[in-house]
């Protein structure tokens, strides 16, 4: 198998890496991540102008990419810069719109790609425990069949404060943990009855708790058929998990490079500590683990358009690997830096924190290991 990226993907990565290096340095990123908005609207627009959002979607829907490897290349570069702009939810919501959106909903893709509209996936719930089918937010059809009423709460909605549109999962039939009976709605965030409480995330940027109090929705808000949203959610989150795993690989590369540079410059007993054989062995082992993570991401990217079971096993295998290796990279790099590795002023600490938090987004390593095993038994 040829693991070399196409020329177009190499150009995409080079352009984005150069832009992030020149315009998104650590001080800029730290300021943005700590801001009241949690991302930069100006830089989001510049990313859009560079075509970076368009790389997430295929030509038929206004983009120029959309393949698993396009997503992997883009998010690996974003991970190198710890970019906090809303690429992830744009990808997941956009993927759902591509799959099952009506003509009006698919027309929204243009405003996603040009950066003029912010969207967020409102699926996770306070007691969801990463289980995709666990949905307790309920929607009931009006008695006359004209519209719906939505009630419930969603947790950790990325950029929820500033999203114009929310893609919301709701239970319309069956038990709260059944795959059948999940319905998706596209909900403007300014709809009466929608309440948003924002907060700062530990690894930078912002998220929100969103509640729905008897929110009135028209039938046009439906995304796909009632009760059949699980498959759409699963595929959208597969794209999201691939993106997170690719982001983690980019962050691992930078953390390793920072550590190698430190080992070459920090001296003890009059020589660089990188000359000590024990530390060389630890860095060699760490580099091997990072390459294992990269291989898992390549496998997941290649399987993104495969049939469901193959795709989902590859996605869960990658997320498990990233969770385990990401924690190892974070721990080893901080330990090899010594006490300075824990300081907020050092970029490494932020990369380590982001790697740990990626493990907890869209299912941690324990969840995905169990899921991988269960999928193998189907």
108 lies in the same domain as 171: no
Is 284 among the domain residues? yes
pTM: 0.96
Q: The domain containing residue 48 runs over which residues?
A: 7-113
Q: Residue 1: pLDDT band by 50, 70, 90 thresholds? A: low
* pLDDT, position 377: 87
CA distance 234 to 149: 24
User: Is residue 121 within 8 Å of 92, Cβ to Cβ?
Assistant: yes
Interatomic CA distance for residues 90 and 120, integer angstroms: 7
Residue 251: inside a domain: yes
* DSSP E strands, the chain: 119-122, 138-141, 148-158, 165-171, 182-188, 194-200, 206-217, 222-223, 267-268, 271-272
**What is the average pLDDT value for the chain, to the nearest integer?**
95
Do residues 369 and 297 share a domain?
yes
User: Do 194 and 174 belong together in one domain?
Assistant: yes
Q: Please report the pLDDT score of residue 172 as a whole number.
A: 97
pLDDT at 7: 86
Of 96, 113, 130, the residue at which a domain comes to its end is 113
The pLDDT assigned to 3 comes to 61
Condensed to tens digits (0 to 9), the pLDDT of residues 27-85 reads: 999 999 999 999 999 999 999 999 999 999 999 999 999 999 999 999 999 999 999 99
> pLDDT at position 293, please?
98
Q: Do 105 and 97 meet the contact criterion of CB atoms below 8 Å apart?
A: yes
Contact, 32 vs 100, CB < 8 A?
no
Domain shared by 235 and 370, yes or no: yes
Residue 2 lies in a domain: no
Do 258 and 197 fall into the same domain? no
Where is average pLDDT lowest: 10-14, 289-293, 363-367? 10-14
Domain end, chosen from 94, 113, 132, is at 113
Pairwise CA distance, residues 378 & 373, whole Å: 9
Lowest mean pLDDT of 85-94, 174-183, 338-347, name the range: 338-347
State whether 239 and 368 are in the same domain. yes
Residue with the two structure tokens 């991988």: 372
When pLDDT is averaged across residues 276-301 and rounded to a whole number, the result is 96
Q: Which CATH number covers residue 63?
A: 1.10.540.10
Percentage of the chain beyond pLDDT 90 is 90
Crossing angle of helices 230-265/277-303, nearest 10°? 160
Co-location of 250 and 301 in the same domain: yes
Residue with tokens 């899921």: 371
Residue 192 lies in a domain: yes
Report how many domains make up the chain: 3
* 271 and 371 share one domain: yes
Specify if 16 maps to a domain: yes
The pLDDT of residue 222: 97
1, part of any domain = no
pLDDT in tens, 289-330: 999 999 999 999 999 999 999 999 999 999 999 999 999 999
Chain centroid to CA 240: 5
Residues 140 and 201 reside in one and the same domain: yes
**pLDDT at residue number 4:** 72
Q: For position 350, what pLDDT does the model report? A: 96
Contacts of 105 (CB under 8 A, 6+ apart): 97, 186, 223
Where residue 150 sits, what CATH number does that domain have?
A: 2.40.110.10
Do 127 and 221 have their domain in common? Answer: yes
What tens digit of pLDDT does each residue of 103-139 get?
A: 999 999 999 999 999 999 999 999 888 999 999 999 9
């Amino acid at each position: 198998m040829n693991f070399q990226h196409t020329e177009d993907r190499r150009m995409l990565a080079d352009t984005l890496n150069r832009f992030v290096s020149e315009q998104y340095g650590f001080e800029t990123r730290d300021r943005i991540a700590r801001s009241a908005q949690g991302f930069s609207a100006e830089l989001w627009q510049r990313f859009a102008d560079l075509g970076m959002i368009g790389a997430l979607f295929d030509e038929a829907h206004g983009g120029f990419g959309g393949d698993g490897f396009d997503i992997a290349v883009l998010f690996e570069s974003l991970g190198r810069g710890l970019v906090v702009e809303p690429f992830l939810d744009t990808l997941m919501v956009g993927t759902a719109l591509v799959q099952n959106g009506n003509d009006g909903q698919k027309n929204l893709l243009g405003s996603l790609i040009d950066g003029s509209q912010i969207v967020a996936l409102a699926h996770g719930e306070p007691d969801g425990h990463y289980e995709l089918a666990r949905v307790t937010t309920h929607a009931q059809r009006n008695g006359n069949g004209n519209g719906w009423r939505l009630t419930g709460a969603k947790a950790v909605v990325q950029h929820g404060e500033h999203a114009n549109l929310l893609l919301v999962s709701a239970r319309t039939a069956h038990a709260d943990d059944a795959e059948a009976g999940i319905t998706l709605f596209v909900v403007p965030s300014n709809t009466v009855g929608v309440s948003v409480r924002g907060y700062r995330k530990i690894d930078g940027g912002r998220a929100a708790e969103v509640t729905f109090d008897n929110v009135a929705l028209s039938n046009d808000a439906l995304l796909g058929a009632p009760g059949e949203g699980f498959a759409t959610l699963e595929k959208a989150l597969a794209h999201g998990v691939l993106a997170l795993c690719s982001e983690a690989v980019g962050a691992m590369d930078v953390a390793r490079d920072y550590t190698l540079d430190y080992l070459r410059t920090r001296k003890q007993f009059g020589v660089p500590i990188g000359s000590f054989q024990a530390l060389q062995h630890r860095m060699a082992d760490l580099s091997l683990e990072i390459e294992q993570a990269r291989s898992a991401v390549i496998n997941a990217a290649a399987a993104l358009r495969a049939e469901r079971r193959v795709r989902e096993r590859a996605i869960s295998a990658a997320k498990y690997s990233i969770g385990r290796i990401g924690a190892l990279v974070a721990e080893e790099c901080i330990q090899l830096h010594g006490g300075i590795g824990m300081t907020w002023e050092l970029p490494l600490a932020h990369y380590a924190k982001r790697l740990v938090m990626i493990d907890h987004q869209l299912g941690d390593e324990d969840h995905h290991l169990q899921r991988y095993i269960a999928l193998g038994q189907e």
